[in-house]
Amino acid sequence: MNKVWVKDNNELSDFEKLKLVNDGLDMVEKLPKYQESGFDSIDLKERNLLKWAGVNIQKPRNAGYFLMRVKIPSGVMNSDQARVLATIAKDFGRGILDLTTRQAIQFHWLTIETIPVVMNILNEVQLKTIGSEGDCPRTIIGNPLAGIDPNETIDTRELVQEVSEYFQGNREFSNLPRKFKISISTNVYNVGHAEINDLAFTPAVKNDGKNDCNGFHVYVGGGLSAQPHLAQKLNLFVHPHEVLKVSIAVATLYRDYGYRKNRRHARLKFLLADWGKAKFETELLKLTGPLETTGIDLTRGWNAGYFYGVHPQKQSGLHYVGLSVPLGRLSVEDLLEIAECADKYGDGSIRTCLSKNLLLANIPTQNIAALLAEKIIRRFTPYPKPFVGYTVSCTGNEFCNLALVETKEFAIKLAQTLDKKITLDTPLRIHVNGCPNSCGHLQIADIGLRGTLEKLNGRTVEKFELLIGGSLGISNGFATMLQGAVSSDIVHQVLEDFINFYKTQRRFQESFHEFVSRFGTEAFQELLNPYIESLSELACF
């Protein structure tokens, strides 16, 4: 591969210089050596390259433990794979698994000695970890209902698999400026979160003069983190057979022209912002050849990745059941019982969701009642309370080296407290993030909480900044940050005030995003100010 971006090494970050001589995929080949020699034998500079194997150093950084992400493209898996995942968690991961906001499965507590063993076990059931981390195309997300969805225009399973297999371990694209996230979905409720991905394909239709042809519109340059950007829609209509070609072309532009001097400024969104849509599209067409211009957009809204309840599939007599997995945390026993239910009442189909939840598919009508009576299904209920069911958190400082505060235990206690104190007849999404990054997707939440640390009377206090009014879909917009931060132990009081204000003043069927847009953030800032002032007074004593 001609590395066209290498003109002057002084224009590359230190990590980019390392990647010039050590492709991340080389670390995968070194795993057996490190398995023999141990964690301490891994060169400090190379430890971050282990991400290409799908593993990341767990907190504390020098203890020798890793988290591992397993790719579940579009969230589609089966009960046999689920049992293998559960067995790995039991044997190597201290009995826990986490669902992620990219439909993956995450293990903790792995060691360099066990990582190659786990990868071999996963390979036997066609599950991959390579590329779930690192500067390469990541897990391709999409519609967890693909193939069974009454609201999809095309079954995208084969397309997702085709694109996934092309980029899997592909050295042509294993050295990108940063991560590269792809979404492919034709569900009309934007279940693939198109606007926050580097590249997204969304449902569209165009008439060829004789017939309506279902295909895709293309969005590029989305992403969250500390500088969020909404993806921009190109003037293109892409047929299903052109999806891979377009994916390769966008990845090529990013590889060859993306920024490599500063990793904080290295995502595709920054290249698009500087080039503009017109230039990006021109350069893209040089690689793909002619493509049709946009057709009719079929996106009708955004369901935020939630599928709770029992719903008919497009196959007559079959249903899918959306389950609530609070904060995405599963035990070995949980996953084994879910796999058993998937086999006993359906055909073994299990799907993972961007909301860190699960659903069971292909359940015949006559089996629904017995399935709902199962203990595990009553626990992970298809009909959760509005706050426990719609609260998301990142990993937090339990495992993450970047997180400033604990998030999962805080988030579940917060949600349970709000469910006890407030009755609400509509979902309100609360996302908790432990650092300035955005693994918890707080910018697209109704209410986002960002953890921070502050000195108060000589001691360090965990506090949270608040963002409000985020949404994707037709009326998309990122949440707005309010001024000030509040101690973690009074966050629930602030949110009670916010939610009761919304509850009493909203219009019929008005979403929280719409409510914030109508009232403005000033009204919420006024509700927040007394808590900020009371903390300031306390700090003076």
- CB contact at 8 A, 476 and 228: no
3-state DSSP helix/strand/coil percent for the chain, to nearest 5? 40, 25, 35
Catalytic residue (one of 93, 346, 440, 451): 440
pLDDT of amino acid 226: 85
pLDDT of amino acid 538: 46
Edge-to-edge, what's the strand order for the sheet holding 76-78?
Answer: 76-78, 349-352, 358-364, 318-323, 309-312
Catalytic residue (one of 59, 69, 233, 463): 69
Catalytic residue (one of 353, 400, 435, 439): 439
Q: What is the DSSP string of 239-306?
A: -GGGHHHHHHHHHHHHHHHS--S-GGG-SHHHHHHHHHHHHHHHHHHHHH---BPP-EE------TT-
- Residue 461: phi and psi, rounded to 5, are -115, 135
Last residue of a domain, one of 297, 313, 332: 297
Q: Please check whether residues 158 and 291 belong to one and the same domain.
A: yes
Which of left, alpha, beta for 4 (phi over 0: left; psi -120 to 50: alpha)? alpha
Q: Please check whether residues 83 and 212 belong to one and the same domain.
A: yes
pTM assigned to the model: 0.96
Chain segment 160-174, per-residue pLDDT in tens = 999 999 999 999 999
In the annotation, is 258 catalytic? no
Q: Please check whether residues 407 and 293 belong to one and the same domain.
A: no
Q: Which pLDDT band, with edges at 50, 70 and 90, does 448 fall under?
A: very high
Q: Please check whether residues 288 and 408 belong to one and the same domain.
A: no
Which residues, in sequence order, are bridge partners of residue 184?
Answer: 142, 201
Is 340 inside a domain boundary? no
pLDDT of amino acid 6: 80
Q: Which domain holds residue 242?
A: 9-297
Q: Please check whether residues 141 and 286 belong to one and the same domain.
A: yes
In the annotation, is 178 catalytic? yes
Angle in degrees, 0-180, between the axes of helices 115-123 and 79-92, rounded to the nearest 10: 170
Q: Which pLDDT band, with edges at 50, 70 and 90, does 438 fall under?
A: confident
Which residues, in sequence order, are bridge partners of residue 330?
Answer: 97
What average pLDDT does this structure show over 6-10?
A: 70
What average pLDDT does this structure show over 438-452?
A: 95
Q: Count the domains in the chain.
A: 2
In the annotation, is 210 catalytic? no
Q: Please check whether residues 407 and 287 belong to one and the same domain.
A: no
Q: Which pLDDT band, with edges at 50, 70 and 90, does 307 fall under?
A: very high
Q: Which pLDDT band, with edges at 50, 70 and 90, does 9 fall under?
A: low
Chain segment 316-370, per-residue pLDDT in tens = 999 999 999 999 999 999 999 999 999 999 999 999 999 999 999 999 999 999 9
Last residue of a domain, one of 297, 313, 343: 297
Predicted confidence (pLDDT) at residue 101 exceeds the cutoff of 60: yes
Give Cα 114 to chain centroid, integer Å: 26
Q: Please check whether residues 408 and 280 belong to one and the same domain.
A: no
| Domain CATH number, residue 440 | 3.30.413.10
Is 377 inside a domain boundary? no
Catalytic residue (one of 83, 128, 179, 267): 179
Catalytic residue (one of 328, 396, 434, 448): 434
What average pLDDT does this structure show over 180-206?
A: 98
CA distance 75 to 403: 26
Q: Please check whether residues 253 and 398 belong to one and the same domain.
A: no
CA distance 71 to 144: 13
pLDDT of amino acid 11: 84
Q: Which pLDDT band, with edges at 50, 70 and 90, does 536 fall under?
A: low
Is 284 inside a domain boundary? yes
pLDDT of amino acid 209: 82
DSSP class of 3: -
In the annotation, is 64 catalytic? no
- CB contact at 8 A, 392 and 101: yes
pLDDT of amino acid 455: 83
Exposed/middle/buried for residue 175 (C-beta within 10 Å: 0-12, 13-18, 19+): buried
Is 306 inside a domain boundary? no
pLDDT of amino acid 540: 39
Q: Please check whether residues 209 and 103 belong to one and the same domain.
A: yes
Structure tokens at 303: 């369901």
Task: Give the Å distances, CA to CA, from 207 to 16, 211, 213, 431.
Answer: 46, 5, 6, 41
Is 199 inside a domain boundary? yes
Question: In whole numbers, what is the pLDDT of the chain averaged over residues?
Answer: 95
Structure tokens at 266: 């290295």
Predicted confidence (pLDDT) at residue 55 exceeds the cutoff of 60: yes
In the annotation, is 329 catalytic? no
Structure tokens at 326: 């609070």
Give Cα 84 to chain centroid, integer Å: 23
Q: Which are the contacts of 160, defined by CB distance < 8 A and separation ≥ 6?
A: 73, 74, 76, 140, 142, 146, 184
Ranges 114-128, 270-284, 350-364, 521-535: which has the least confidence? 521-535
Q: Please check whether residues 420 and 525 belong to one and the same domain.
A: yes
Predicted confidence (pLDDT) at residue 535 exceeds the cutoff of 70: no
Q: Please check whether residues 219 and 76 belong to one and the same domain.
A: yes
CA distance 503 to 491: 18
Q: Alpha helices of 390-448 — where are they, by DSSP H?
A: 408-421
Last residue of a domain, one of 268, 297, 326: 297
Catalytic residue (one of 19, 102, 128, 178): 178
| H/E run at residue 233 | strand 232-238
Q: What is the DSSP string of 172-203?
A: GGS--SS-B-EEE--BTT-TT-GGGSSEEEEE
Give Cα 88 to chain centroid, integer Å: 22
- Whole-number CA gyration radius for the chain: 23
- Residue 513: phi and psi, rounded to 5, are -60, -45
Chain segment 455-479, per-residue pLDDT in tens = 878 888 899 999 999 999 988 999 9
Is 490 inside a domain boundary? yes
Is 437 inside a domain boundary? yes
In the annotation, is 136 catalytic? no
Neighbour count for residue 369 (Cβ, 10 Å): 10
- CB contact at 8 A, 430 and 393: no
pLDDT of amino acid 68: 98
Predicted confidence (pLDDT) at residue 511 exceeds the cutoff of 70: yes
What average pLDDT does this structure show over 408-434?
A: 96
Is 77 inside a domain boundary? yes
Q: Please check whether residues 247 and 103 belong to one and the same domain.
A: yes
